């Protein structure tokens, strides 16, 4: 957006309040259920509609000519174009819903740009930090309420039971009111990095005391552990790399620490995709195949459901290499093939996908290249931010985590990820077109 833009956003406080409400209600994902879309539409979507209805009359359409697109804007538009072409070629209800979700989240990205247009970098930073801190507070309050109600035999669903969970057996995993534990981990990751940045002095907010930061770190750490999430080693590895990146000393110890961080990441990925046990057969167990593919001494190695789904995705990609099988269609196609072959594989209650292999299967090589371009652009733009910008380190840690999480989770429609992208977009603009004090 150029300097000549003259948007005068009326009642800006109201828009900021609604955006704040949108962000803090993201963790509550089982409030609304509707036919066809199930639980995809929740309170944030209601708030988004209100925001759009209030905002559109304020836009002066003649000023669109003053918009100067960033590389991030172009990468996101390219992603939308690929999705649109995909819908035209594979038109069905599932693909339409998939593209609708992408379009909505891109509109959310654009909306953040307009709400904070001509805002000072400090204002953007303060809103981001305070809103996600408020979100964390609300999650903690909800958890304590859920625990208190459990003592009265009232279950609101803060825990989810997983039977025969790999390496742990039957297990209650924390999810508060999100869809599943992995979603809670990804949501908590953003306020976690905010707390680290505040503690490290990258961002300064006078109203937050040191003891509050320490308490928040303890609580968020306990909640993350309570999820038993497969991606916790990712967070630990990024945290280790974050701190050693600030050490000016260069010695062999630093190299060993980096090797340790790499070990955490690689071991987490391997143990997620391959289950190691002494059992020679897993007929009644879920999360993977019942027959081992390899035996090493007294240990048997099984393909987990994450491994199997990637195999399925690659097979589908080979069948439709250029344009894929259609957005959102992969699971339906896999299920149809299982029915035809009368496959009796045990399955978990959800079907884990990878953003990478899922994109290859559903959008083909064209969609995968668009995804890589978007990810490369995010990395390039974040690294290019000024070191004086406190959000830079939050962006680096957060996007690093999401790119690793994407290996075994479909993250492309995470609301909080697109909120993060929105704030990256407006941060880039505030740096390119700074507002005078």
Predicted local confidence at residue 168, as pLDDT = 87
Higher pLDDT, 10 or 229: 229
* Residue 341 is assigned to a structural domain of this protein: no
Which residues lie closer than 8 Å to 425 by C-beta, 6 or more apart?
70, 72, 73, 109, 112, 113
Query: How far is residue 241's CA from residue 15's CA, in Å, rounded to a whole number?
Result: 37
124: domain range?
12-274+348-432
* Residue 290 to residues 170, 214, 277, 287, 342, Cα–Cα distance (Å): 18, 45, 12, 9, 15
The string of pLDDT tens digits covering residues 13-30 is 889 999 999 999 999 998
Q: Per the domain annotation, does 195 fall within a domain?
A: yes
Predicted pLDDT of residue 35 = 78
Least confidently predicted of 70-84, 213-227, 274-288, 372-386: 274-288
The per-residue pLDDT for 341 is: 62
Looking at the domain assignment, is residue 101 inside a domain? yes
pLDDT in tens, 137-175: 999 999 999 999 999 999 999 999 988 888 888 899 999
**Mean per-residue pLDDT, 78-98:** 94
Tell me the C-alpha distance between 302 and 326, whole Å.
30
Split into its structural domains, the chain has a count of 1
Q: Residue 214 domain-assigned?
A: yes
pLDDT of residue 96: 94
Greatest mean pLDDT among 61-65, 253-257, 319-323 lies in: 319-323
Q: Does any domain span residue 2?
A: no
What's the confidence (pLDDT) of residue 62?
Answer: 45
309, 353 contact by CB (below 8 A):
yes
> Which pLDDT does position 64 carry in this prediction?
58
Nearest to 426 by CA among 389, 399, 373, 398: 389
Answer yes or no: is pLDDT of 370 > 60. Answer: yes
Domain annotation covers residue 18 = yes
Residue 46 burial (CB count, 10 A): 15
pLDDT over 90 at 429, yes or no: no
**According to the model, what pLDDT value does residue 182 have?**
94
> Across the chain, what does the average pLDDT equal?
87
Within a domain: 218 = yes
Average pLDDT over residues 106-120: 90
Residue 348's pLDDT is 46
- Is residue 324, in this structure, part of any structural domain at all? no
Tell me the per-residue pLDDT of 259-309, one tens digit each, with 9 for 90 and over. 999 999 999 999 999 999 888 877 666 788 888 899 998 899 999 989 988
Record the pTM.
0.91
Residues 407-426 pLDDT 10s: 999 999 999 999 999 999 99
If 0-12 CB within 10 Å is exposed, 13-18 middle and 19+ buried, where does residue 276 land? middle
The better pLDDT of the pair 58, 101 is held by 101
Residues 6+ apart with CB under 8 A from 153: none
């Amino acid at each position: 957006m150029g300097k000549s833009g003259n948007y005068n956003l009326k009642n800006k406080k109201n828009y900021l309040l609604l955006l704040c409400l949108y962000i803090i209600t993201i963790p509550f994902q089982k409030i609304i259920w509707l036919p066809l879309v199930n639980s995809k539409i929740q309170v944030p979507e209601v708030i988004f509609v209100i925001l759009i209805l209030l905002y559109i009359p304020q836009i002066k359409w003649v000023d669109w000519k003053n918009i100067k697109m960033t590389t991030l804007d172009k990468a996101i538009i390219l992603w939308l174009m690929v999705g649109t072409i995909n819908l035209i070629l594979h038109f069905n209800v599932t693909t339409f819903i998939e593209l609708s979700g992408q379009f909505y989240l891109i509109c959310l990205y654009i909306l953040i740009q307009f709400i904070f247009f001509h805002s000072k970098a400090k204002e953007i930073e303060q809103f981001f930090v305070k809103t996600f801190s408020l979100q964390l507070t609300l999650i903690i309050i909800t958890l304590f309420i859920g625990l208190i109600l459990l003592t009265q035999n009232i279950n609101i669903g803060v825990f989810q039971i997983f039977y025969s969970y790999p390496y742990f057996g039957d297990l209650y995993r924390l999810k508060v009111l999100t869809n599943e534990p992995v979603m809670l981990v990804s949501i908590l990751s953003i306020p976690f990095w905010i707390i680290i940045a505040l503690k490290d002095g990258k961002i300064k907010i006078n109203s937050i005391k040191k003891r509050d930061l320490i308490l928040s770190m303890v609580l968020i750490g306990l909640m993350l552990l309570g999820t038993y999430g497969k991606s916790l080693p990712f967070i630990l590895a990024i945290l280790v790399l974050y701190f050693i990146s600030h050490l000016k000393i260069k010695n062999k110890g630093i190299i060993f620490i980096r090797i340790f961080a790499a070990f955490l990441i690689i071991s987490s990925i391997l143990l997620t995709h391959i289950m190691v046990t002494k059992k020679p057969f897993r007929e009644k167990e879920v999360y993977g195949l019942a027959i081992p593919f390899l035996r090493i001494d007294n240990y048997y190695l099984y393909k987990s459901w994450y491994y199997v789904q990637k195999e399925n995705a690659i097979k589908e990609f080979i069948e439709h290499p250029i344009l894929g099988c259609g957005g959102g269609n992969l699971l339906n196609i896999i299920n149809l093939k299982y029915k035809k072959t009368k496959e009796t594989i045990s399955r978990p209650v959800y079907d884990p996908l990878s953003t990478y292999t899922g994109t290859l299967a559903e959008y083909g090589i064209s969609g995968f290249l668009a995804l890589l371009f978007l990810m490369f652009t995010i990395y390039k733009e974040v690294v290019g931010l000024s070191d004086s910008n406190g959000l830079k380190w939050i962006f680096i840690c957060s996007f690093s985590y999401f790119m690793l999480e994407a290996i075994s989770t479909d993250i492309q429609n995470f609301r909080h990820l697109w909120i993060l992208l929105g704030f990256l977009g407006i941060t880039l603009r505030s740096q390119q077109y700074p507002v005078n004090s």
